[in-house]
Amino acid sequence: MTRTELFAIAEKHGFQRGKPLSEEARNRIEGEIRAWLESPVGQQYLAQAPRVHWEDSGQQGMRPMTVEDAVRALMQEIDMEVG
C-alpha cells in the first residue's frame, strides 16, 4: 500500500489533515486497511515487509510483521497528519 493509497482510504472515511478522527471513522479506516492486508495483495505486502523486533520476559528477537503490526504502523502514519 502506498502512502497515497493509505490517505485515499482515510479521506474516504472523513480524514482531514489537522483535524481529529472520530472513533467511528478510525474504526472504518482500520477495517479497510485490515481487509486489504488480508487480501492476496496485502499478504504479499506482509511477506515482503521488514521483520519487527519483539521483546518478552527478557528475551528478544525479530519476527515477521503481522496484520496487526501493519495496521498499527499505518494508523500511526495517519495519526501523524492529524497533529
pLDDT tens-place string over residues 45-79: 999 999 999 898 888 999 999 999 999 999 999 99
Record the pTM: 0.87
Closest CA to 37 of 82, 79, 75: 75
Out of 30-39, 40-49, 53-62, which region has the weakest mean confidence (pLDDT)? 53-62
Gap between the Cα atoms of 57 and 67, Å rounded:
23
Burial label for 18, CB within 10 Å (0-12, 13-18, 19+), is exposed
Gap between the Cα atoms of 64 and 60, Å rounded:
13
Which tops the pLDDT comparison, 80 or 82? 80
The domain ranges of the chain are 3-82
Beta strand ranges found along the chain (DSSP E): 52-56, 59-63
- Look at residue 58 in the predicted model and tell me its pLDDT: 86
Residues 14/77, Cβ–Cβ less than 8 Å: no
